[in-house]
């Protein structure tokens, strides 16, 4: 695993002898862009069926994303944050968890919570602004996506403390982007996890842009993984377009967390192929060359090549999964559209466990 | 029955609940070994251990967020924000995340959290240690707001707050921590959230107050009595939910009212109470309901604190305006 370390006797950049310096960090990669295993030591143990399942989920997620953007344009979805390009970090990190591990997502992290058990139609309801979208079924260990950048980092920290207090061998994982790593809540969460040695995984999907602000303007730190050093937790940087590297890193972090070893900050270097949300114009802040360069690292292509070489995946498989995904999206969007609308009185009743008199009175105006 | 001051009563409430329910946790800055800067949690870590009562790193947003996360896992956090002015650092977690949890999740999750904080003027504390910020909380949907005025209520209300499955902002007046002792039952009892109390009966005017101002209002009522005016004094105890019924019942009797608050005059609890009185009791009023409150300035430095805060003389003056309308 590529770990950030304080052990750097020889500084490259000068400075005073007593200054803390960090090693250069090189992202962990298991697969090369050609789909060759370049780091067999970190090859996660996965059966052929599991490997196929991971590919299935990534292709499904890509297709769902493309369909969701169309549904958004048709006015059938509300707020939606595209995910294409980030399938390896999203699908891979969830796949590396146990079902009783807990996920605290940011606004873009719908795939993780759907693969963890949230029915797809509820994801669509969430996007359509319906409360039932957030009514997570019993036994599904997720919170709804967080809008306030960084708030979920603290919730995961509290949930992880809960696991530790109950002596449960579970971890809480939370996601944010490179922009989220600038929030005070990010540092507060890491610091609490360090101080209390909590089983939390802080996964930063560094896709290079906070909406339009590039990484270079986000931080002067060499990497986000370095930020773990100040909190006294593990910091790891990985190639976020390599799903096997993601699985290796998250499995390791989860194992360490479950066994009392504390928290890990994982920085996955990734890219969103599409805009931040449905509204921004990527041509104003990204170049075609950059986009082409990242397209070559497409996690689906890379992992597909690896599987094809093993005889586990073909173009026909991709076509089949795409068809399945389209049908599933159609079915779930219909279910979302057929779900009875929220009511103002229902909204009022969701404020408190027992609706107090003043709200009962206000409710009467809407009945 | 034991005699306790308000701080001891608050501590006793936490002790009762820590003992009763293993899911109750008490945490915040310096609440452990030393028992908090005001010693409100003194002895609790020794009695219940440092996994139930613990110090956190100095970060209010994380204290709030930790409470929200723990709340989803079946714990009942009692999180102390060391001084009221520091709640701004935790506003997102208190007033957005905790207060919206039930709404956002369509009732799937809730936030059974008490955010305790000392507040209140007249003690010449440092800047941003005493401001009355309840107005921010009462404008926030989804969080209850409780402000006790005496040891008996403080214990019973805090026990209710800890058992409540919704977040409660529990504000403890600094000037009441040690002000006087009261008979406080040992063990378990509750004072319901959302019920005001008539603390002095009268027929000529209603003085509505909460926290320390209840005592200032009672002093003013004694002054008024000397001039033959019988003031009824209501201790609200809870601002959300507000017990408007008790207020209206009193105004039906007295036909006149004022509201006293330590917070700056505009757009606060008093303004809300008057709006509700207009909605429910305007035909019983013989004069406008007036506010006795500090001016709309920032909370002053210590030198003019006493002049700035409402006192008995200003309450008497405001009552006289209402009586002479």
Predicted confidence (pLDDT) per residue in B235-273, tens digit: 999 999 999 999 999 999 999 999 999 999 999 999 999
What is the reported pLDDT for A180? Answer: 97
Checking if the pLDDT of B220 tops 90, the result is: yes
Q: CA-to-CA distance for B86 and B69, rounded, in angstroms? A: 20
Q: What's the topology of domain B2-184?
A: Rossmann fold (3.40.50)
What is the reported pLDDT for A16? Answer: 75
Q: Which of A21-30, B11-20, B133-142 has the lowest mean pLDDT?
A: A21-30
The structural domains of chain A, with segments of one domain joined by +, span 22-364
Q: CA-to-CA distance for B8 and B152, rounded, in angstroms? A: 10
Checking if the pLDDT of B286 tops 70, the result is: yes
Q: 3-state DSSP call for residue B73?
A: coil
Cβ distance of A351 and B141 shorter than 8 Å: yes
Q: CA-to-CA distance for A248 and A266, rounded, in angstroms? A: 11
**Tens-place pLDDT, residues A35-52:** 999 999 999 999 999 999
Cβ distance of A148 and B70 shorter than 8 Å: no
* CATH 3.40.50.920 placement within chain B: 197-324
Contact list, B21 vs chain A (CB under 8 Å)? none
Contact list, A184 vs chain B (CB under 8 Å)? 61
**Tens-place pLDDT, residues A127-151:** 999 999 999 999 999 999 999 999 9
Checking if the pLDDT of A282 tops 50, the result is: yes
Average pLDDT in the B188-200 region?
Answer: 98
Give DSSP secondary structure letters for B232-259: EEEE--EEETT-HHHHHHHHHHHS-EEE
Q: What's the topology of domain B197-324?
A: Rossmann fold (3.40.50)
Marked catalytic residue, from A276, A297, A302, A332:
A276
Contact list, A161 vs chain B (CB under 8 Å)? 66, 69-70
Q: CA-to-CA distance for A71 and B49, rounded, in angstroms? A: 54
Marked catalytic residue, from B110, B129, B173, B215:
B129
Q: CA-to-CA distance for B172 and B117, rounded, in angstroms? A: 6
Checking if the pLDDT of A1 tops 80, the result is: no
Cβ distance of A188 and B62 shorter than 8 Å: yes
Active site residue B129: yes
Asked if the C-beta of A284 comes within 8 angstroms of chain B's C-beta atoms, the answer is: no
As a 3-state breakdown, chain B gives helix, strand, coil percent values, each rounded to 5, of: 40, 20, 40
Average pLDDT in the A218-228 region?
Answer: 94
What is the reported pLDDT for A12? Answer: 52
Checking if the pLDDT of A59 tops 70, the result is: yes
With both helix axes pointing from N to C terminus, report the angle between A243-258 and A299-309 in degrees, rounded to the nearest 10. Answer: 90
Q: How many CB atoms are closer than 10 A to CB B62?
A: 28
Q: CA-to-CA distance for B76 and B74, rounded, in angstroms? A: 7
What is the reported pLDDT for B216? Answer: 98
The closest CB to that of B108, out of A134, A158, A358, belongs to A134
Q: Is B284 exposed, middle or buried (0-12, 13-18, 19+ CB in 10 A)?
A: middle
What is the reported pLDDT for A14? Answer: 57
Residue A174 region by backbone torsions, left for phi larger than 0, else alpha for psi between -120 and 50, else beta: beta
Name which of B73, B193, B246 to mutate to probe chain A: the one with the most chain A Cβ atoms within 10 A of its Cβ. B73
Asked if the C-beta of B76 comes within 8 angstroms of chain A's C-beta atoms, the answer is: no
Cβ distance of B65 and A153 shorter than 8 Å: yes
**Which among B294, B293, B263, B290 has a CA at the least distance from the CA of B205?**
B290
The closest CB to that of A132, out of B62, B106, B142, belongs to B106
Contact list, B93 vs chain A (CB under 8 Å)? 151, 154
What is the reported pLDDT for A18? Answer: 75
Q: CA-to-CA distance for B310 and B195, rounded, in angstroms? A: 24
Q: 3-state DSSP call for residue A238?
A: strand
Average pLDDT in the B2-16 region?
Answer: 98
Cβ distance of A133 and B106 shorter than 8 Å: yes
Complex-level ipTM:
0.96
Percentage of the residues of chain B whose pLDDT score is greater than 90: 99
What is the reported pLDDT for A8? Answer: 46
What is the reported pLDDT for A307? Answer: 98
Domain A22-364 has CATH 3.40.50.970: yes
**Tens-place pLDDT, residues B57-79:** 999 999 999 999 999 999 999 99
Q: Looking at CA atoms only, how far is residue A72 from chain B in angstroms?
A: 21
Of A9 and A111, the one with more pLDDT: A111
Which residues fall within 8 angstroms of residue B317, CB to CB, at 6 or more apart?
A: none
Mean pLDDT, chain B, rounded, equals: 97
Asked if the C-beta of B105 comes within 8 angstroms of chain A's C-beta atoms, the answer is: yes
Q: Looking at CA atoms only, how far is residue B148 from chain A in angstroms?
A: 19
Average pLDDT in the A339-350 region?
Answer: 96
Percentage of the residues of chain B whose pLDDT score is greater than 70: 100
What is the reported pLDDT for A13? Answer: 54
Checking if the pLDDT of B199 tops 80, the result is: yes
**Tens-place pLDDT, residues B107-119:** 999 999 999 999 9
* CATH 3.40.50.970 placement within chain B: 2-184
Task: Report the alpha-carbon angle B112-B116-B117, nearest 5.
Answer: 155
pTM for this predicted structure: 0.96
What is the reported pLDDT for A260? Answer: 97
What is the reported pLDDT for B1? Answer: 86
**Which among A206, A189, A265 has a CA at the least distance from the CA of A234?**
A265
Checking if the pLDDT of A326 tops 90, the result is: yes
Pairing of strands B257-260, B205-209: parallel
Q: CA-to-CA distance for A214 and A178, rounded, in angstroms? A: 9
Q: 3-state DSSP call for residue A30?
A: coil
**Tens-place pLDDT, residues A95-105:** 999 999 999 99
Mean pLDDT, chain A, rounded, equals: 94
Q: How far is CA A155 from CA A152, B37, B72, B79, B118, in A?
A: 5, 26, 9, 14, 25
């Amino acid at each position: 695993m590529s770990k950030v370390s304080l052990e750097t006797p020889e500084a490259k950049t000068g400075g005073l002898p007593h200054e803390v310096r960090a090693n250069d960090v090189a992202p962990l990669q298991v697969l090369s862009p050609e789909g060759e295993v370049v780091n067999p030591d970190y090859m996660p143990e996965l059966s052929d069926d599991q490997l196929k399942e991971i590919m299935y989920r990534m292709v499904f997620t890509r297709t769902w994303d493309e369909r969701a953007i169309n549904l958004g344009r048709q006015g059938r979805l509300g707020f939606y944050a595209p995910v294409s390009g980030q399938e390896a970090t999203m699908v891979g990190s969830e796949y590396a968890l146990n079902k009783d591990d807990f996920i605290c997502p940011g606004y873009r992290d719908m795939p993780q919570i759907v693969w963890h058990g949230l029915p797809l139609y509820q994801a669509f309801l969430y996007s359509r602004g319906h409360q039932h979208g957030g009514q997570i079924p019993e036994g599904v260990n997720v919170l709804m996506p967080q809008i306030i950048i960084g708030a979920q980092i603290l919730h995961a920290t509290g949930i992880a403390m809960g696991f530790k207090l109950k002596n449960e061998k579970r971890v809480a994982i939370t996601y944010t982007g490179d922009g989220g790593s600038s929030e005070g809540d990010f540092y507060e969460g890491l610091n609490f996890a360090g101080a209390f040695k909590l089983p939390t995984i802080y996964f930063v999907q560094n896709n290079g842009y906070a909406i339009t602000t590039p990484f270079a303007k986000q931080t002067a730190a060499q990497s986000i993984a370095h930020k773990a050093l100040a909190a006294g937790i593990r910091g790891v940087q990985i190639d976020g377009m390599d799903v096997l590297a993601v699985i290796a890193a998250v499995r390791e972090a989860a194992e360490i967390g479950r066994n009392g070893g504390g928290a890990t900050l994982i920085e996955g270097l990734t890219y969103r192929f599409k805009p931040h949300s449905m509204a921004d114009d990527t041509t104003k802040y990204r170049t075609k060359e950059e986009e082409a360069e990242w397209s070559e690292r497409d996690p689906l292509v890379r992992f597909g090549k690896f599987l094809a070489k093993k005889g586990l995946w073909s173009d026909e498989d991709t076509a089949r999964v795409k068809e399945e995904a389209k049908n599933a999206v159609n079915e779930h969007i219909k279910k979302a559209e057929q779900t009875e609308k929220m009511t103002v009185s229902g909204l009022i009743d969701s404020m408190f466990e027992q609706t107090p008199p003043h709200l009962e009175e206000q409710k009467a105006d809407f009945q | 029955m034991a005699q306790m001051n308000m701080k001891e009563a608050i501590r006793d409430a936490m002790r009762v609940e820590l003992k009763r329910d293993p899911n109750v946790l008490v945490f915040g800055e310096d609440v452990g070994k030393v028992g908090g800067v005001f010693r409100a949690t003194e002895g609790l870590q020794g009695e219940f251990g440092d996994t139930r009562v613990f110090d956190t790193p100095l970060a209010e947003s994380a204290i709030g967020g930790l409470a929200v996360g723990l709340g989803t896992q079946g714990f009942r956090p009692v999180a102390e924000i060391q001084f009221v002015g520091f709640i701004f650092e935790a506003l997102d977690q208190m007033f957005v995340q905790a207060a919206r949890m039930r709404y956002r999740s369509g009732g799937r999750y809730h936030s059974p959290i008490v955010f305790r904080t000392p507040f209140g003027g007249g003690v010449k504390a440092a800047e941003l240690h005493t401001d009355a910020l309840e107005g921010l909380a009462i404008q926030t949907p989804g969080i209850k707001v409780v402000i006790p005025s005496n040891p008996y209520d403080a214990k019973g209300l805090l026990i209710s707050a800890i058992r409540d499955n919704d977040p409660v902002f529990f504000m403890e007046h600094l000037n009441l921590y040690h002000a006087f002792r009261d008979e406080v039952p040992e063990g378990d009892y509750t004072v319901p959230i959302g019920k005001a109390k008539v603390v002095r009966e009268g027929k000529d005017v209603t003085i509505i107050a909460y926290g320390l101002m209840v005592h200032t209002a009672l002093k003013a009522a004694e002054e008024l009595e000397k001039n033959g005016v019988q003031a009824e004094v209501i201790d609200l105890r809870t601002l959300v939910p507000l017990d408007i019924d008790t207020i209206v019942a009193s105004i039906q009797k007295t036909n006149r009212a004022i509201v006293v608050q330590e917070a700056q005059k505009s757009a606060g609890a008093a303004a809300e109470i008057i709006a509700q009185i207009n909605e429910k009791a305007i035909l019983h009023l013989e004069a406008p309901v007036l506010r006795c409150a500090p001016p709309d300035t920032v909370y002053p430095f210590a030198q003019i604190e006493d002049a700035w805060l409402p006192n008995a003389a200003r309450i008497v003056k405001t009552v006289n305006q209402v009586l002479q309308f």
